[in-house]
Amino acid sequence: MRVFVTGASGWVGSAVVPELISAGHQVVGLARSDASAAAIEAAGGAVVRGGLDDLDVLKSAAAEADGVIHLAFVHDFAQFDTSIGTDARAIEAFGEALQGTGKPLVVTSGTPIAAQPGQVATESEEPAPDSPAAGRHANAKLALALAERGVRSSVVGLPRSVYGEGGTGFVGRMVAVARDTGISGYVGDGSQRWPAVHVKDAAHLYRLALEHAPGASMLHAVGDEAVPIREIAEVIGKHLNLPVESVPADEFGFLGAILSVDQPASATITRELLDWIPIQPGLLEDLDSGHAFT
């Protein structure tokens, strides 16, 4: 299968591309910069130059492919609504290109925060109305609706932590703040829980979704359902030899609001639907291996 991948040179894309190629697929990656293009080619993929705002490029590349995996997202938290709009237009462009073909389109979203406090969010969950994830969930629904137009669309909801050697993400931000302040901090009592997945397990799910997911499938790439934030801080404190304490949310900048919310999520439906079994180490085990502190 010839697969067009946006975000192919990013953190998740750097795992998805070799996962696809090892399974015999051809990859064509979207690249805005020379560095991104070089990374995609080094991984064995071909390159289409452009960005998410280049809708004609997206449509053309999607039309020439046998399937699309949309990983790219503009992570500008200062202008998040703008980023949501850019993502929506890209999804609409893919829908136009793939309409009536039955080809797969795999779109990326986030796991939702359950509307009822303390609950574990499932694949059928509607996020709380004031949730930061609500905008991305709206785009996920836009993608799923493309199944009615002859696109085999599915959505992979990524959890708050997609970890692994070479990646940083939100946990990396916690490590950086700990180094800067001399305290490995958590917000409140630290009982808030995060879902998490190893990047290689996530990459495997993207491939399964491309190959097998029925149209209008909402999927969760969740390995660990509920990792307490305080336990993450304790591993960080252990490796940096720092005290572990509750700190004000604003110590973490934009991440403070995310760390303040309990947001566990499950992948039971996803595992049963696609026989997806995460096999990599859990978040705490991976963090305790030490690679995040070198």
Q: Which domain CATH number covers 148? A: 3.40.50.720
Are residues 114 and 93 part of one domain?
Answer: yes
Are residues 106 and 145 part of one domain?
Answer: yes
Among candidate residues 185, 223, 184, the one with its CA nearest the CA of residue 205: 223
Are residues 38 and 123 part of one domain?
Answer: yes
pLDDT at 162 over 80: yes
2 pairs with which residues across the strands? 26
pLDDT at 265 over 80: yes
Are residues 32 and 103 part of one domain?
Answer: yes
Are residues 170 and 113 part of one domain?
Answer: no
Distance, in Å, from the CA atom of 270 to the CA atom of 274, rounded to the nearest integer, reads: 6
Question: Is the distance from CB of 169 to CB of 11 less than 8 angstroms?
Answer: yes
Are residues 136 and 101 part of one domain?
Answer: yes
Are residues 177 and 56 part of one domain?
Answer: no
What pLDDT sits at residue 87? 96
Q: Does any domain span residue 272?
A: no
- What end-to-end distance do the CA atoms of the chain give, in Å? 38
Q: Does any domain span residue 31?
A: yes
Are residues 230 and 156 part of one domain?
Answer: no
Q: Which residue has the tokens 């808030």?
A: 192
Are residues 285 and 181 part of one domain?
Answer: yes
**pLDDT digits 0-9 by tens, 165-191:** 988 689 999 999 999 999 999 999 999
Phi and psi angles of residue 102, each rounded to the nearest 5 degrees, phi first: 75, 5
Are residues 228 and 153 part of one domain?
Answer: no
pLDDT at 254 over 70: yes
Q: Does any domain span residue 273?
A: no
Are residues 242 and 187 part of one domain?
Answer: yes
Retrieve residue 118's tokens.
Answer: 């303390």
Give the structural domain span for 104: 2-160+197-220
Are residues 182 and 92 part of one domain?
Answer: no
- pLDDT interval class at 240 (50, 70, 90): very high
Domain count, the chain: 2
